[in-house]
Structures are given as C-alpha cells and as structure tokens.
Amino acid sequence: MWKYRMNKSVDFLKLQNLFKWSNLYVVVIACFTVIIFFQNWKWGILAFLFFLLIFTVHIYHMIHYQKSTVGYLQSLHGIIHSAENNMLLTFPFPYVILDMEGKIEWYNAKFENLFEQKKMFHKQIGTLLPELDITQFPSQEEVIWVKRFDYNERHYKAYTQRMLQVGEEGEENIYILYLLDETENIDLKVQNIRQQTLVSSILIDNYEEVMQSLEEVRRPLLIALIDRKLNALAGDVEGIIKKIDRDKYMLLFPYKYLKNIEEKRFEILDEIRDIHIGNDLPVTLSIGIGVGGRNLPESMDYARAAIDLALGRGGDQAVIKNRDKYAFYGGKTKEVEKSTRVKARIKAHALKELIKESDRVLIMGHKGPDVDSLGAAIGVYRGATLLEKKAHIVLNETTTSIQGLYNKLKGSSDYSEDLFVSSVEAIRLSGEKTLLIVVDVNRPSYVECPELLDLNKNIVIFDHHRASAEFIQNAVLSYVEPYASSTCEMVAEILQYMVDKVKLKPIEADALFAGITIDTKNFSIKTGVRTFEAAAFLRRHGADSMRVKMFFQNDMASYRARAATVKEAEIYHDDMAISVCPSDIPNPALTAAQAADELLNISGITASFVMTEMDNQIVMSARSLGDINVQLIMEKLGGGGHLTVAGAQFKHRNVDDIRQKLKQAIDEYLEEENKL
C-alpha cells in the first residue's frame, strides 16, 4: 500500500512538471500563429485552426489535471490525518494535550501508564505533576518551555509548547506537553562522575619543628605511624597513595568516596594530630583536593591551588577546590611559628629584584586602614627608597586609629608631598613598569583601590591573615604567613634582608612597632620568638614605646562608648558575648574592636562579637581566647580572619538581622564541632 502511494506521488510530480512545459509550448505556438497570419493570411487561418486544436486538447488535459490534483490532495490529507492519529496513539513518549487553564483534554497510553489512576480527563496537570506550573507555560507559539523534575524515583524532562488548533467550533489555543525519561542518561552521568579520579595533595605542615622536638631514635617510628594512617585512608577510599617527599604525599581516589570523607569531616586530621610518641608539638596535615577538572592535569592544578590555600589559612585543615568553589574543613589549631627565617630571606631577595626592575612602587593596604596596615606600608616604602625607587602609599581617607601617625608623617620634612596618593592618582601612575605591593590584606574586595589589581601585572602580597576563597590570584610574589603576629612583623624581617645596612627613621620604626603592638594586644597574644626579635630590631632603630602609646590614646566619647558596649553585652551559650557599639563616635569600628577585646577580660567569656554601624554598613569584630575558632564563624557570614581575631562587613542590613544570623552561624559551628 505504501509502495503504491509512493509511486502515485512520483507520477503526480512528473505530470506536474509536464504541464509546466506544455503551457510554454502553447504560448510559443500562439506567437508563431500571429507571425504567420501577418505574413500570409491564408496560411494564418490554417495555423489558427491548428492552434485552436492544440489549445482545446491542452484545456482538456488541464481540467483533468485539476481533478487529479484535488483527488491527490484529498488522498494526501487522509494519509496525513491517519498518520497523525497513529502517531499520537503510538507516540513513544508520554504525551498530553492541555487547555489554556492546564486541564487535560487528551493523553496517550504512555502518559496513562505513569499514574495509578486511569480517568484523568479535565484534571489539572498540576495535581498530577506539581512541578509543572501552568503560569510558567509559554505565551507564544514559537517558544518551548523546558522543565526537569523527578517523579516516582525517575528523572523526566518536560517540553511544553503553545499551539493554535482549528476545529469545528473555530480556533482555540492549546498546550501540548510530552515527557522524556532521562533516568538512564542521568544515572550514567552520575556513575561516570562517581568513578572520576580525584587528585589530593597532602603535606605535613610542621615536619621540621616536630622532628626537632623528638628524639632521633623515635623519628622513624613517627613517620611510620603517619604513613600507616595515610595508607589506611587510601585503603578505605580504594585509592592509591604515593610519598613524593619526606613530608609530601599524593593520593588518587574515586569521587564516590569524597562524600564519606566530608561527612566524617576529614577525621584523618584528628588522627594524625593525636599521634604522641614523645613529640612536644602535635603533627598537623594540610590536604588539598581538586574536583571537577576536565582531566588529571587540571585536577592536579586544582589540588595545588587547594593546598596553597590550606597553607595560607594556617594549615591543619583540608580544602576542596571544585572549579571556582571552595570548601573548608578543620583548622582548629593555632598556627605554629616557624623557627627558620629561610623563607623570609628568599621572599626579601625576590622583592628586591622586583623593585629594581620597576620604575616606581605603589603600596596599598585595606579599606579603613589601621596601624598595622599603615605601619607595614611605611616599612615597605623605606625598603623601596633604600633601593632608590620612587614609592607612593595609596590612601583615600584616614581613620581615627591612624590619624596621629598620619599627621606625623605628613608634617615631617623627610617625606615628599606625594607620599600619600589617592586612588585616582594611583591609577594614573599604574603601568607596565609599576610594582604594586599589597600589605595587610589578601582579598581583592577589601583593598583600598581594587582597580589597581587589574591595571598592574606585577603584584606582591604581604599579609598575616588567613587566606579565604576570595584571594588575589595574579600575584607574582605572595608572602602570607598566618602564624605571624602582624604584617609589620613580616615587613621588619624582610627589611633586614633587602639591604646590607638598614637605616630606619624613628617615625618609621615607631609605625612598625605600633603595628606589632596593636595586633598582639601589647605583646599578650600571638607572640613568638620572631615577634620579639622584630620588636628588638625596631627598638635598635629608634622605636619608642611611649611615643607608640600616644598613637592609641582615645577620647572620652570613645571610652564611654566602649564601656557602654561591655555593659550591654548579651551572653549567648553561657560563654559568648554579643554586643552593639554606639555609632555616634569618631571611629566606631576601632571602638568595637577594643570592646571585643575588653569582653574577653570577663571571667567565663571565651569569645566576643561586637557590631557597629559605619559608612552605611555594619562592621563586626570577633575575638576569642582560642577555644572558639571565630574565623570559621565569620566565614559563614562572608568574613574571615584568624582563629582568635576575625571580622565581617555587611551592606544594607540592620543590626537585629545580623545578630540573628550571627547566632545561627554560632549554632552551626558548635554543631559541627560536636560532630568531630
């Protein structure tokens, strides 16, 4: 039957082409008849009779052709109509026709088999499939609305299109909807992802320090215990571990085991930390895992970036990098001070070479600069001038905390008028030969002028804050040491290796000493051997503790605001203090930080959180004595910092909302800690 229909359609097309040519022939004969008539009317009459005969035959065939055409079209219409009906009935996918209100007008057997009920006419599609919202259906005929959803433990993809239907009652709009079962494809994708090989880089953070604290005969035993636990981890995840250095390992394992490791919150960190065979210091690991790479080399790059971030955050933690996303686990211990200065010497030599290759140096701190930021900037400025390079400090506005130091620097005849430049001037000074040095900050959104990060390709970072997922990526030299007490301490060490004979002016020594003093709370927290060595170096170059103390003097309004903040503090979970600092004072952010420090002096308080409003935003300062990791709490709110000192900023919010979000973050943190 289909062969007959096909042959008939072919003959019809041939006949159609033949009549096209016959029309042309008739016109040609008519032209010749006219020409002959004008040449000889007798022969013209004969030619006209011949043309009349041809034209009569042509008309007869045309009438027959039209009847054949109508018959063919009617036959074709019947075929198409029959095919449409058969297609709808035998359509291999669930198919349904809806009216404009989402009621079912017709459905095929495949659609009926999806549901236990049989009679579904005039029912709302939303009652059967709640994920399909009629209000989201397309309003134009050319648009196809696509929606993925799950039903009865299977995955479907719905296609919906609006159509105009012509019936006996006239024209009406309808929706046609059909479903594709994507369960097998999705299961294959999930299985493929679960079998994907992940690359993990593992590093013993404090290898040298632990080995020095352990008897020589016990060192092989410690290494054997570490290797044993890491090999056990590899066995649990069906992975392969390879020791590539005395303190470095590489682990390859399937993706399907990553969730188990995350649910256990990387208990390997605690297992390694609990190894004690006479070592004075606990052994800590840093783990970096690369996820989502298109191939193993890209996954390895992700793992390297993750391990660098883990080390930048102080170590003793695991970082998972999934393309542009990061996840953090661990980080419960305080940073361990490195006894060696080799790294500082190497960084100082690299900085010296970069400065020599540059025409000018721009030094930039963070927004709302403090004494540590300005002091570090002054120290780097002196290093650049000792190497005979022009340097400028990018500063838009001063704060109360640096006003005294800023006035002394501006009033000193030892510095040029362009010591401090605004962001506009700094942008003008940027170029290929300009070196940008960022101090006391490693987050691009926190720097004084973020545009400079894009305008200058040579960027150097000096910071003591823990790195976060938002990190300046394009730095040619990065020196981030969370164990350092302050950036001023790091700069004081760097200066000693940049030139043979360092000559600091008294005000520069005071500025660096002030930065160390304020960040260590008068040398009471986060102080190590290198902290006091840096302070001694500054004292030898003229730093005076009495002059430094004058930088921190407060006015009466700030003192009263701090006292009111402590008085109105709310005690949360019996050992945490939450308070709000008044904002009608010269520098509420500094007073809030001082109040947070003051709250820790109260017996039983292990962590404090103080908020205040400043410049149309809310600033929060967080402090702890070490038992509570305020950095992890602040990161839940979009901030960061250290284990004992952290903070966050919020725009277009009110204090009550932030207080509730803070409590939620504290509850989440405590819940996670209880799982460990």
Buried b / exposed e over 558-571, threshold 16 CB at 10 Å, is: beebbebbbeebee
CB 285 within 8 A of CB 204: yes
pLDDT at res. 84: 55
The residue range of the domain holding 663 is: 558-675
Same domain, 401 and 470: yes
Pairing of strands 197-204, 285-291: antiparallel
Return the residue matching tokens 């940027």. 430
Distances (CA, A) of 561 to 304, 581, 582, 623: 47, 7, 6, 18
- According to the model, what pLDDT value does residue 537 have? 93
Q: List the one residue out of 634, 663, 647 whose CA is nearest residue 570.
A: 663
Ramachandran bin of 90, using left for φ above 0, alpha for ψ from -120 to 50, beta for the remaining angles: alpha
CATH number, domain containing residue 599:
3.10.310.30
Please check whether residue 303 lies inside any domain of the structure. yes
Residue 65: the pLDDT is 65
**DSSP letter, residue 103:** B
CB 182 within 8 A of CB 231: no
SS3 state at 299: helix
Domain termination site, one of 285, 309, 330: 330
* Residue 323 in domain: yes
User: Which residues, 6 or more positions from 248, have their beta carbon under 8 angstroms from its beta carbon?
Assistant: 201, 202, 203, 204
Predicted pLDDT at 263: 87
Q: Do both 518 and 621 map to the same domain?
A: no
Q: Which of 186, 217, 235 is the last residue of a domain?
A: 186
pLDDT band at 16 (very low <50, low <70, confident <90, very high): low
Q: Is residue 655 part of a domain?
A: yes
Q: Calculate the alpha carbon distances from 565 to 318, 630, 647 in Å.
A: 37, 19, 17
Long-range contacts of 565-573 (CB under 8 A, 24+ apart): 565/591, 565/592, 565/595, 565/598, 565/610, 566/595, 566/598, 566/599, 566/602, 569/599, 569/608, 571/605, 572/663, 572/666, 573/666, 573/670
**CA pseudo-torsion sign 300, 306, 312, 318:** negative
Please tell me the predicted confidence (pLDDT) of residue 576: 95
Cα–Cα distances in Å, from 532 out to 340, 483, 501, 526, 529?
15, 14, 20, 11, 5
Within-domain flag for 324: yes
Band of residue 69 on the pLDDT scale cut at 50, 70, 90: low
pLDDT above 90: residue 118: no
Encoding tokens for residue 488? 């001023």
Residue 283 in contact with residue 275, Cβ under 8 Å?
Answer: yes
Residues 354, 491 share a domain: yes
pLDDT at 7: 44
Residues 389-411: pLDDT tens digits? 999 999 998 877 788 899 899 88
What's phi and psi for 603, nearest 5 deg? -60, 135
**pLDDT at 47 exceeding the cut of 80:** no
Tokens for 534? 């840096």
Distance between CA 127 and CA 135 in Å, rounded? Answer: 14
Phi, psi of 502 (to 5 degrees): -80, 135
Same-domain check for residues 169 and 225:
no
Q: Are 634 and 658 in contact (CB under 8 A)?
A: no
Inter-CA distances, 192 with 187, 196, 262, 303, Å: 8, 6, 20, 20
Same domain, yes or no: 496 and 591: no
- Reported as a single tens digit per residue, the pLDDT across 332-366 is 665 555 656 778 888 899 999 999 999 999 999 99
> Domain for residue 349, yes or no?
yes
**675 vs 630: which has the higher pLDDT:** 630
Exposed (0-12), middle (13-18) or buried (19+): which is 481, by Cβ within 10 Å?
Answer: buried
Task: Determine the average pLDDT of the residues in 75-90.
Answer: 56
End residue of a domain, out of 30, 61, 90: 90
Confidence band for 74, pLDDT divided at 50, 70 and 90: low
Structure tokens at 192: 């493929």
DSSP code string of 43-64: HHHHHHHHHHHHHHHHHHHHHH
Helices and strands: H and E segment counts in the chain = 23, 23
Same domain, yes or no: 429 and 464: yes
Helix (H) or strand (E) holding 498: helix 487-498
pLDDT tens sequence across 261-292: 988 889 999 999 999 888 888 899 999 999 98
Higher pLDDT, 251 or 86: 251
* pTM recorded for the entire structure: 0.65
Average pLDDT of span 411-428: 92
Q: Which of 15-19, 322-326, 330-334, 456-460 has the highest mean pLDDT?
A: 456-460
d(CA 481, CA 467): 9
Amino acid 493: pLDDT: 93
C-alpha 129/C-alpha 61 separation (Å) is 59
29 or 130, higher pLDDT: 130
If we measure between CA atoms, which residue out of 457, 463, 494, 491 comes closest to residue 476? 457
pLDDT averaged over every residue in the chain: 84
Report the range of poorest mean pLDDT among 102-111, 188-197, 655-664.
188-197
Q: Which CATH number characterizes residue 162's domain?
A: 3.30.450.20
Residue with token string 């996918």: 93
Helix (H) or strand (E) holding 67: helix 41-90
Number of structural domains, the chain?
A: 5
365 or 25, which is more confident: 365
**316 and 181 co-located in one domain:** no
Element of type H or E holding 192: helix 183-194
β-bridge mates for residue 320, sequence order = 289, 327
The CATH number assigned to the domain holding 306 equals: 3.30.70.270
Is residue 412 in some structural domain? yes
In three-state secondary structure terms, 333 is: coil
In this predicted model, which residue has the larger pLDDT, 466 or 390? 390
Is 142 within the bounds of a domain?
yes
Structure-token pair, residue 13 = 């097309």
Q: Is 70 exceeded by the pLDDT of residue 170?
A: no
**Location of structure tokens 């399909």:** 132
Q: How far apart are CA 525 and CA 509, in angstroms?
A: 21
What is the pLDDT, as a whole number, of residue 21?
A: 59
pLDDT above 60: residue 120: yes
As a dihedral over the C-alpha atoms of residue 481, residue 484, residue 486, residue 487, rounded to 10 degrees, the angle is -40
